[in-house]
Structure 1
Amino acid sequence: MTNFESIELEIDVSNSLAIVCFNRPNQFNAFNIKFMDELITAFNTVSRDTRIKCLILTGRGKAFSAGGDVVEFKNAEKPDEFMANLVSKLHEGIKILKNMKILSIAAINGACFGAGLGYATACDFRISSKIATFGCAFTKIGLSPDSSSTWHLPKLVGLSLANEMLFLNRVLDAQEALQFSLVNKVINSEGRFLEEVKKFAAEICQGAPLAYSFTKKLIKASYTNDLETHLDKEAENIVKSAGTEDFQEGLKAFFEKRNPRFKDK
């Protein structure tokens, strides 16, 4: 395990897994400049490590993340300059996360608010503990939303509910988050929460990394492409996929009625 001060990074090579744990439990894992510098370093480390097939984000203590550190907001001599610096780092982290070739899981162990919710929605999957709660909270203190909230939320939960969360600061519990497709599943066994998330990650790690990478790019591009352009992109990527060793292995495994052993080639 690689230890920073505000986060922890664990690389589990045997399971092709990386775990980034937010580690400011007394501050509900609130984001500040130092936190973000460490998180960006961790993301870059994971992104460059070709042994990793899946990333889990989670938090230590009672919160996934409460978002930005409001105490530091209050103490800032020049709030707008402080916010500009913090936001640039928040956005850098989200861009690295979204552009990773591997798949990511937000393991939401508790309160998930503000920029914390932004980071959770930027992951490919969201798995919630039964005690987790979800909210935006930006406008509650006179800020406009940030950290991808206005981009991801309407796409995940629909415009009507997104408006309630963004304007009226509606808070969802875990079952509501599942009902409205904000999360993929809820784990009711609180004591085994992370272990259950790891089982989900293990299923991901059995898949074809190149096919996953192409699929991530296609999903992202679908938000801006027209249908004809997108069909061309699908054709381009499936042809690339058909030229890989993993495709040959997948076919062979299918006809031999066994699980494939993909090699990212």
Structure 2
Amino acid sequence: MATVSLDRPPGNGWTPGLGREFFAALDRLAADPEVRALVVTGTGPDFCVGADGGSLDNITNAGSYEIDAARPTYWAAMTIAKPVVAAVNGACFGVGLQLALFCDVRFAGSSAKFATAFVRRGLIAELGMTWLLPRIVGLGVANDLLLSGRLVRAAEAERLGLVNRVAEDTGLLAAAQEYAAGLAARCSPAAMGVVKRQTYTDLTSTLPAAVARGDAYLEAALASADFAEGVRSWRERRQPVFGGLDPAHARFTLPDADDARQAASR
């Protein structure tokens, strides 16, 4: 298990430089066979307050915004065939919220606070938040959060399904790390990778296609050493000892962005 921390005080305001370092760290850990689960958090009191104020000023002064050709890296956490757990401390706004949503499971400190914030800056919802947020909290709640940009505190975030669990601030990181370490110790890395791929791929699939893919994955799983070990350890009432994730299967791709753009232009 490994932990990645956003570290750009104060508030870990998002900049292109921070993004490059963050996504490079994810790439390294995705390829590391010794790492079976990841935790993402923020250094200091906040997870990420959103875009850095200086970056916003530069965009305002320039009067335009160049879209980054490497934008698919923003959802990198979703394409890593390992569980990625967010430990959200303090403020989690705008792009910071989107980064947390791209993680598979979200823990929040008791004083954490969330906001989409875009409309309060005269901006639209970017980075696919209109695609992902309704899938996590439902359409009605997503509309509320996106249209109002209002503040949501930890207890409400848990109630809405925005986060999976709330922990005391002082124990937040330990709780998220314990959860991730438990996945790494008790679950097959190969199986988790396939299940994660199924989950995100099937969001835009039909039920028959999802079942067909699942059947193919199941056939491979039934023939695997991990399945034999899983059954054997269960019968012997001990912890399983699973093999590591094949580095060749450490990442997967989501439905192609070019297909989405072509569909939108029709």
The CA deviation string for residues 73-109 of structure 1, in whole angstroms up to 9 with x for no partner, is 1134424235x23xx45x3332322110111001001
Rounded to whole Å, the distance in 1 between the matches of 2:115 and 2:99 is 12
Alignment of 1:138 onto 2:144: no
Alignment match of 1:197 (pick from 176, 180, 193): 176
Aligned-residue offset at 1:128: 0.4
Gaps of 5+ in 1: 1-16
Rounded to whole Å, the distance in 2 between the matches of 1:68 and 1:92 is 18
When the two structures are superposed, what TM-score results if normalisation uses the length of structure 1?
Answer: 0.87
| Structure 2 counterparts to residues 244-259 of structure 1, below 5 A | 244-259=224-239
Q: What is residue 64 of structure 1 aligned with on the other side?
A: 47
Rounded to whole Å, the distance in 2 between the matches of 1:75 and 1:34 is 15
For the residue of structure 2 that corresponds to 1:63, the secondary structure is: coil
**CA 1:224 to 1:92, structure 2 compared with 1: closer, same or farther past 3 Å?**
closer
Aligned-residue offset at 1:180: 1.0
Q: What is residue 260 of structure 2 aligned with on the other side?
A: none
Alignment of 1:18 onto 2:2: yes
Alignment of 1:110 onto 2:90: yes
**CA 1:23 to 1:79, structure 2 compared with 1: closer, same or farther past 3 Å?**
farther
Aligned residues: 243
Once the two structures are overlaid, the 10-residue window that deviates more, 143-152 or 68-77, is: 68-77
Rounded to whole Å, the distance in 1 between the matches of 2:81 and 2:140 is 32
- Check whether the contact 2:108–2:165 (CA below 8 A) recurs between aligned residues: yes
- Check whether the contact 1:119–1:147 (CA below 8 A) recurs between aligned residues: no
Once the two structures are overlaid, the 10-residue window that deviates more, 157-166 or 62-71, is: 62-71
Q: What is residue 150 of structure 1 aligned with on the other side?
A: 130
When the two structures are superposed, what TM-score results if normalisation uses the length of structure 2?
Answer: 0.87
Once the two structures are overlaid, the 10-residue window that deviates more, 91-100 or 43-52, is: 91-100
For the residue of structure 1 that corresponds to 2:33, the secondary structure is: coil
Q: What is residue 30 of structure 1 aligned with on the other side?
A: 13
The CA deviation string for residues 107-135 of structure 1, in whole angstroms up to 9 with x for no partner, is 00111110110010000000000000111
The CA deviation string for residues 223-259 of structure 1, in whole angstroms up to 9 with x for no partner, is 1111111110110111111121111100101111112
**Percent identity between the two aligned chains:** 29
The CA deviation string for residues 26-69 of structure 1, in whole angstroms up to 9 with x for no partner, is 1x111111111111211111111111111111001221111111
Gaps of 5+ in 2: 246-266
Bigger share in strand:
1
For the residue of structure 2 that corresponds to 1:64, the secondary structure is: coil
Rounded to whole Å, the distance in 1 between the matches of 2:235 and 2:63 is 62
